[in-house]
């Protein structure tokens, strides 16, 4: 099987601004991935540095999705460009041990093409169980949490050497990751090789905290009391789906939930405010990293991604926490890409409403890199190649571009306590089939907060049937039409 011949699939290998392509002009890639950040905290008032440095000069995807909305399957999709049924990771447990062909991944492809590669932060759940302190395939630089990531009192593998961090303010993990990312970028500025840095923060994931009231379970840890106090009176968002009055049309796992009482709402409010404290420090880290890029002379050559591995529930549909259910607060995540002028024609579109996913990250990087280097093969060895299910975002990042109208993407999760499903998300609809036999269908144009389940309604029988057919195809899809003509399975359309 041939790998991804990007030059053939996406146009001639030429510099975006005109003129011949040169290997020395190949773009760098910085992927900033955060953990459990919902769209409700992804706002300029909470993240001024991120918006000033990435979102405002880049492109914000209003329909950026985590497919599926769960840490390890989502990150496996970033790593491979594939859906779970192709890469093998359906849940957090066991996570990485289920990954098919772990030697055939994005960092391997880029390193083989001449990139310096680094992972700083959180990798895939279960990786330490398989490899201990050793770096994952393809990474030259490795600074990764061992076992469970934390804000304080954690251990990391520093290129295979175990380092232990305690409870001092200087050991707050968000800041430690930022410092190591800046060092990598400083070194990269002195190198003639392009780089790929996956900077994976733990924030604003919940965890243990010594700070009251952030000791409440599932709460993120701000770096200190002063940071928490800045948000101690922030109002908890209450969309129409908050503590949904009538959940009788939802699957049994949701319809059986009791309404949230005053104590439960207070707990969610504490989690919200603690999370804002963690997001605030995360935002400062993003600002420092972007300043380091500029100081190293690499900002004009670096394509920057910002996305979350899933969202989070803050009382929507009576869900007091969590992220894996296929509702918009978990599925629709912060997602922005900044492309320097040298790699696009015209101004960056400020917003795009196309449906995009975590599976699109790898194809996008391979597309841009292949315009300046030899077309990069997504292969571990000749004949052992991945057929990425995602698409390059390049047509959406540089003026008018072609994109599949009504694109449907797949979210599939297995072995979760409540959520075990296959679902399709299009620009208008989300339709899911649960392992219990239950079905959900929502029209996001008329019902953006998913209050009325249309599954089984005779008036919507035709659209449900059409989505069910599309979903069945996605469940066994592989690759994208035109990229690999030898693919026999249905394409991921």
CATH code of 176's domain = 3.40.720.10
pLDDT for 19: 57
- Other CB atoms within a 10 A radius of the CB of residue 20 amount to 9
Sheet of 439-443: strand order equals 409-413, 421-425, 429-434, 439-443
Is residue 406 in some structural domain? no
Round to whole Å and give the CA distance between 181 and 287.
12
In a domain, residue 341? The reply is: yes
Candidates 316, 268, 364, 265; CA nearest to 58 is 364
Instruction: Flag whether 157 is in a domain.
Output: yes
**91, HSE (Cβ side, Cα atoms, 13 Å):** 13
Flag whether 413 is in a domain.
Answer: no
* Interior angle at CA 303, CA 300 and CA 309, nearest 5: 150
Question: Once rounded to an integer, what is the mean pLDDT over residues 461-478?
Answer: 97
Examine the pLDDT at 11 and tell me if it is beyond 70.
Answer: no
Per the structure, how many domains does the chain have? 1
- Sign (positive/negative) of CA torsion 250, 253, 255, 261? negative
Asked if residue 453 is part of any domain, the answer here is: no
Q: For residues 174 and 177, give the distance between their C-alpha atoms in angstroms, rounded to a whole number.
A: 5
> What DSSP state is assigned to residue 184?
H
Asked if residue 52 is part of any domain, the answer here is yes
Q: Name the average pLDDT for the chain.
A: 93
Taking alpha carbons only, the member of 280, 226, 281, 251 closest to residue 434 is: 251
Q: Is 164 helix (H, G, I), strand (E, B) or coil?
A: strand
Please state, in angstroms and as integers, the Cα–Cα distance from residue 213 to each residue in 217, 221, 241, following that order: 10, 10, 25
Strands (E) across 35-185 are located at 59-65, 116-121, 141-145, 154-158, 161-165
Instruction: Tell me the pLDDT tens digit for each residue of 205-237.
Output: 998 777 778 887 779 999 999 999 999 999 999
- pLDDT tens digits for 46-71? 999 999 999 999 999 999 999 999 99
pTM of the model: 0.95
Per-residue confidence (pLDDT) for residue 20, from 0 to 100: 64
Q: Would you state the structure tokens that stand for residue 309, as one six-digit string?
A: 């591995």
pLDDT digits (tens, 9 = 90+) for 261-316: 999 999 999 999 999 999 999 999 999 999 999 999 999 999 999 999 999 999 99
Q: Enter the tokens of residue 103.
A: 């030697």
Q: What percent of the chain has pLDDT over 70?
A: 95
pLDDT tens sequence across 17-38: 455 677 789 999 999 999 999 9
Q: Given a cut of 70, is residue 488 above it in pLDDT?
A: no
Top pLDDT among 2 and 114 is at 114
DSSP assignment, residue 332?
B
| Count of positions (residues) in the chain | 493
The whole-angstrom separation of Cα 354 and Cα 59 is 11
pLDDT of residue 380: 80
Place of tokens 């392992």: 435
* pLDDT per position as a tens digit, 357-389: 999 999 999 999 999 998 898 988 788 889 999
Q: Is residue 470 part of a domain?
A: no
Q: Which residues form the domain of 78?
A: 6-401
β partners of residue 433: 422, 439
Average pLDDT (75-94) is 97
Residue 140 lies in a domain: yes
């Amino acid at each position: 099987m041939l790998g991804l011949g990007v030059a053939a699939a996406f146009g001639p290998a030429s510099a975006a601004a005109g003129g011949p392509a040169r290997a020395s002009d190949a773009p760098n890639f910085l992927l900033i991935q955060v953990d459990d950040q919902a769209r409700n905290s992804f706002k300029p008032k909470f993240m001024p540095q991120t918006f000033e440095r990435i979102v405002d000069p880049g492109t914000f995807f209003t329909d950026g999705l985590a497919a599926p909305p769960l840490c390890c399957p989502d990150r496996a999709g970033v790593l491979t460009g594939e859906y779970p049924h192709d890469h093998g990771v359906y849940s957090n447990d066991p996570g990485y041990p289920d990954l098919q062909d772990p030697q055939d991944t994005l960092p391997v492809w880029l390193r083989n093409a001449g990139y310096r590669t680094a992972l700083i932060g959180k990798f895939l759940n279960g990786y330490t169980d398989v490899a201990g302190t050793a770096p994952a395939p393809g990474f030259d630089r490795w600074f990764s949490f061992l076992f469970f990531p934390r804000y304080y009192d954690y251990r990391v593998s520093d290129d295979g050497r175990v380092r232990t961090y305690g409870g001092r303010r200087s050991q707050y993990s968000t800041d430690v990751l930022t410092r190591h990312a800046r060092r990598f970028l400083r070194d990269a500025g002195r190198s003639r090789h392009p780089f790929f840095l996956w900077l994976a923060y733990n924030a604003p994931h919940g965890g243990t905290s010594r700070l009251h009231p952030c000791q409440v379970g599932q709460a993120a840890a701000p770096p200190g009391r002063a940071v928490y106090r800045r948000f101690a009176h922030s109002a908890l968002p209450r969309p129409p789906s908050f503590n949904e009055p009538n959940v009788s049309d939802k699957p049994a796992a949701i319809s059986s939930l009791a309404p949230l009482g005053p104590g439960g709402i207070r707990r969610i409010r504490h989690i919200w405010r603690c999370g804002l404290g963690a997001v605030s420090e995360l935002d400062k880290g993003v600002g420092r990293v972007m300043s380091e890029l500029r100081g190293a002379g690499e900002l004009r050559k670096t394509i920057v991604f910002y996305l979350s591995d899933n969202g989070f529930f803050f009382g929507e549909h009576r869900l007091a926490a969590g992220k894996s259910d296929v509702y918009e607060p978990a599925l629709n995540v912060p997602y922005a890409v900044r492309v320097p002028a040298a790699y696009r024609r015209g101004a960056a579109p400020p917003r795009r409403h196309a449906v995009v996913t975590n599976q699109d990250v790898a194809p996008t990087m391979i597309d841009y890199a292949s315009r300046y280097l030899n077309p990069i093969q997504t292969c571990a060895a000749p004949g052992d190649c991945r057929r990425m299910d995602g698409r390059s975002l390049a047509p959406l990042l540089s003026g008018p571009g072609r994109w599949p109208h009504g694109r449907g993407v797949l979210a599939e999760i297995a072995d979760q306590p409540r959520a075990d499903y296959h679902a399709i998300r299009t620009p208008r609809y989300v339709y899911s089939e649960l392992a219990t036999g239950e079905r959900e269908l929502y029209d996001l144009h008329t019902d953006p907060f998913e209050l009325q389940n249309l599954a089984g309604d005779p008036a919507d029988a035709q659209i449900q049937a059409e989505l069910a057919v599309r979903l069945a195809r996605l469940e066994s899809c592989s690759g994208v039409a035109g990229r690999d003509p030898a693919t026999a399975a249905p394409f991921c359309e």
